[in-house]
Structure 1
Amino acid sequence: MNVCFIMYPWEEINTENDSTLAIIHECVKRGHRVAIATPANLTIRNSIAYAFSKIIGKMDKVPAQLKSFHKKAVLKEKMLPLAGFDVIMMRANPPLDPIALNFLDSVKDDVFIVNDIEGLREANNKLYTACFDDPDNEIIPVTHVSKNKKYLKSVIKENPRDRMIMKPLNGYGGSGVIMIEKTAMGNVNSLLDFYIDNKDGTTNYVILQDYIEGAEKGDARILLLNGKPIGAVRRVPGGDDHRSNISAGGSFEKHVLSPAEKKLCKKIGPKLVKDGLYFVGIDVINGMLVEVNVMSPGGITYINKVSKTKIQEKIIDFFEEVVEERVKALDRKTKLKNTIIDA
């Protein structure tokens, strides 16, 4: 296969725990041609979409460790047509660059894109959870999203619970997630000003979400591939932080899906596949869906460490199966067309 990763710069990779690097490593191990590019590397030449790419050269022996692999990889720069790839994997960090998706519109019928660009457009922020049918809040906590400060303050005051979670709509990695309490309402005005108002006069959306009991014990990051769970890890908050995100100082430990989590995955899986969201990370607290991560879901290396598995193998197996089916379908179509031509 020819696989292109549209991602963050190669030089910025955390070689100890980077999920994208683990997937790239598996591709190279299997002998697939791999190129990487950032969204800023996309371009149009003679009305054809290209990427200024870095191709990973063939290795006589691929190092087993990610750090050694990253260090020894030799990159060759080349301008490559996007339609020539079998798979394009979107691994750029949030927020979504909508222009990058516009470059990919012209090749979406020629290349298997993970995740699908229409799915990314729909699900790239935290509003996507509202797309799941859950009128009784069985799997999703009560959630409010607004720019209206008066409304948001009334939500906090009228909420029957003492605590809520406040976070920016486009945050990621635990950035900007805070817990607020009714006893500290005096701070709410300044917090809303900080979250909503920008210096240039524009405004941002704020999310208020019911605090889920048990959140202080951490959350589960569950990875789903083609709508089904393939691994999970429990993230535990640091001693002085309510956030479980490892990037925010949390730790991780082995996690086995509970019956409630299995039920949740079974309920949301079909819609994820329908929307072309083939590789997704969900954050779950006490069986409740908190976030759906579709841009660059992480957690692969942590799951591998605690569960003695290799999540990246399952991902590349899936890519190979899809590409093989697409090749077979094209061959079949070509043969049928030739039958008509030769008639």
Structure 2
Amino acid sequence: MKICFVVNSVESEGAGTTVYMMHEAWKRNHEVYLMGVGDFSFTQNEALSIISTSLPKGFKPQNPEEHLDILQGEKAKKKKIVAKELDVLFIRNNPTEEDTGRHWAEQAGVAFGRIVQQEGVLVLNDAFALSNAFIDKLYFEELPAHVKPASLITRDKEEILEFFEAHKKKMILKPLEGSGGRGVYLIDKNEKNLNQIIENLTAKGYIIAQQYLPAAREGDVRVLLLNGKILKKKNKYGIIKRVSGEGEFRSNISQGATPESSEHTEDIQKIVDIIGPKLKRDGHFFVGLDVVKDKLIEINVLSPGGLDGLYKIGVDNFSDVIIEAIEKKVKYKQMYGSGISNRELATME
């Protein structure tokens, strides 16, 4: 199997979920490539190509971190390859992590991914599904209301203030397009800079005002889904609790939260039973959910993480389960050819 992982840039990539999957694919003797969203090359009337980065011959990294070090070093192998010669293109770049000088990169992965998909390569998650869910917090609003906290998406200050009053003067404010806990505020009746916060957020785009959940004080839970079901290996689940640091309400690892093991609860399973079929229908192979008790507070279809955190707390990194699932899809594609759409194939088990 020839598989290429798309990230924001090879140079800036960290040793997280993507690298863990990439290393596992390499261990299973697949041809593995890494590329940034700026590494596509398209010439009219010619097949789309990519500038790929891979391990040079003779190098045998012992772990994902070493694998990435080699790819980011001077001895990494750079090669231009025709995209349609790949079996799989796995889109893993996070548009919300692009800085202000790289607006061109925000939609490049998904846009070129659609072309690669139309050339017959299996693209994960389905590139057209990613286009429809590109603003994942907006896609989140398509899900049934009873599994989510009350919310409002607007740029109107008066509407936000009305929401604030209606929810006992306590709410979460965050940008519609953002990740990693950046630009997220817990607002209560003691907040003196509410107007300024609203102005700063609206200057950058739409705001989500979300009902505050008291249970969030205990942290949230990241749930990883594969083919619309909770990632599982034997009796272990791809679920990790993220406990906020002292004086911090955000549960993002990047904001200092501590990862801990978490149980597979009935509340979590109920949420997955409700939204899993939609994710599967839409073509989302690998998805991350953020859950507080019995409520889903966020969804990530573009670049869900957590495998490295699960591994570091001694659960499992589950990379083998994910790569095995991709191997099956490649076999199905070889058997059925164009008889099965990419969207269907993306979530076939």
Partner of 1:118: 128
Partner of 2:270: 263
Checking the alignment, whether the CA contact within 8 Å between 1:85 and 1:111 is kept in structure 2 is: yes
Q: TM-score, normalised by structure 1?
A: 0.88
Aligned equivalents of 1:284, 1:187: Cα separation in 2 = 28
Question: Which of 171, 176, 188 is the equivalent residue of 1:164?
Answer: 171
Aligned equivalents of 1:35, 1:210: Cα separation in 2 = 42
AA at the equivalent of 1:124: F
Report the CA distance shift for 1:2/1:229 in structure 2 as closer, same or farther (over 3 A).
same
Give the alignment of 1:59-78 within 5 angstroms.
Answer: 59=58, 62-73=60-71, 74-78=75-79
Deviations 1:90-127 (A, max 9, x none): 11122372343332322314111111112212223211
Aligned equivalents of 1:75, 1:156: Cα separation in 2 = 53
Residue 147 (1) aligns with residue 158 (2): no
- Secondary structure (helix, strand or coil) at the match of 1:183 reads coil
Question: Which of 312, 321, 341 is the equivalent residue of 1:314?
Answer: 321
Checking the alignment, whether the CA contact within 8 Å between 2:224 and 2:287 is kept in structure 1 is: yes
AA at the equivalent of 1:64: Q
Aligned residues: 320
- Secondary structure (helix, strand or coil) at the match of 1:274 reads helix
Report the CA distance shift for 1:224/1:59 in structure 2 as closer, same or farther (over 3 A).
farther
Residue 127 (1) aligns with residue 138 (2): yes
Residue 193 (1) aligns with residue 191 (2): no
Aligned equivalents of 2:34, 2:131: Cα separation in 1 = 22
Which deviates more from structure 2 when the two are superposed, residues 170-179 or residues 49-58?
49-58
Deviations 1:214-238 (A, max 9, x none): 1011000010001011101000001
Checking the alignment, whether the CA contact within 8 Å between 2:40 and 2:50 is kept in structure 1 is: yes
Aligned equivalents of 1:79, 1:121: Cα separation in 2 = 26
Checking the alignment, whether the CA contact within 8 Å between 1:165 and 1:177 is kept in structure 2 is: yes
Deviations 1:270-328 (A, max 9, x none): 11111111100110011211111111111101112335323111110010000001111
AA at the equivalent of 1:247: S
Largest Rg, 1 or 2: 1
Aligned equivalents of 2:158, 2:169: Cα separation in 1 = 18
Partner of 1:9: 9
- Secondary structure (helix, strand or coil) at the match of 2:177 reads coil
Question: Which of 114, 118, 121 is the equivalent residue of 1:105?
Answer: 114
AA at the equivalent of 1:195: L
Deviations 1:100-155 (A, max 9, x none): 33323223141111111122122232111111133xx2x11101000111211121
Provide the aligned C-alpha RMSD in A.
2.0
- Secondary structure (helix, strand or coil) at the match of 1:192 reads helix
Give the alignment of 1:194-209 within 5 angstroms.
Answer: 194-198=200-204, 204-209=205-210
AA at the equivalent of 2:51: F
Question: Which of 177, 180, 187 is the equivalent residue of 1:180?
Answer: 187
Measured after TM superposition, the shift of residue 256 of structure 1 is 1.2
Measured after TM superposition, the shift of residue 85 of structure 1 is 0.9
Partner of 1:27: 25
Checking the alignment, whether the CA contact within 8 Å between 1:220 and 1:255 is kept in structure 2 is: yes
Measured after TM superposition, the shift of residue 76 of structure 1 is 1.5
Checking the alignment, whether the CA contact within 8 Å between 2:91 and 2:110 is kept in structure 1 is: no
Report the CA distance shift for 1:59/1:214 in structure 2 as closer, same or farther (over 3 A).
farther
Unmatched tracts of structure 1, length 5 or more: 199-203, 334-343
Question: Which of 235, 243, 249 is the equivalent residue of 2:250?
Answer: 243
Report the CA distance shift for 1:99/1:72 in structure 2 as closer, same or farther (over 3 A).
closer
Measured after TM superposition, the shift of residue 38 of structure 1 is 1.0
Measured after TM superposition, the shift of residue 332 of structure 1 is 9.7
Q: TM-score, normalised by structure 2?
A: 0.86
Measured after TM superposition, the shift of residue 23 of structure 1 is 0.5
Aligned equivalents of 2:40, 2:196: Cα separation in 1 = 40
Partner of 1:288: 295
Partner of 2:212: 211
Report the CA distance shift for 1:187/1:331 in structure 2 as closer, same or farther (over 3 A).
closer
Aligned equivalents of 1:332, 1:263: Cα separation in 2 = 33
Aligned equivalents of 2:288, 2:246: Cα separation in 1 = 25
AA at the equivalent of 2:264: L
Unmatched tracts of structure 2, length 5 or more: 97-104, 232-237, 341-349
Checking the alignment, whether the CA contact within 8 Å between 2:34 and 2:53 is kept in structure 1 is: yes
- Secondary structure (helix, strand or coil) at the match of 1:152 reads helix
Measured after TM superposition, the shift of residue 172 of structure 1 is 0.3
Aligned equivalents of 2:158, 2:198: Cα separation in 1 = 10
Checking the alignment, whether the CA contact within 8 Å between 1:281 and 1:292 is kept in structure 2 is: yes
Aligned equivalents of 2:81, 2:64: Cα separation in 1 = 26
Aligned equivalents of 2:295, 2:221: Cα separation in 1 = 10
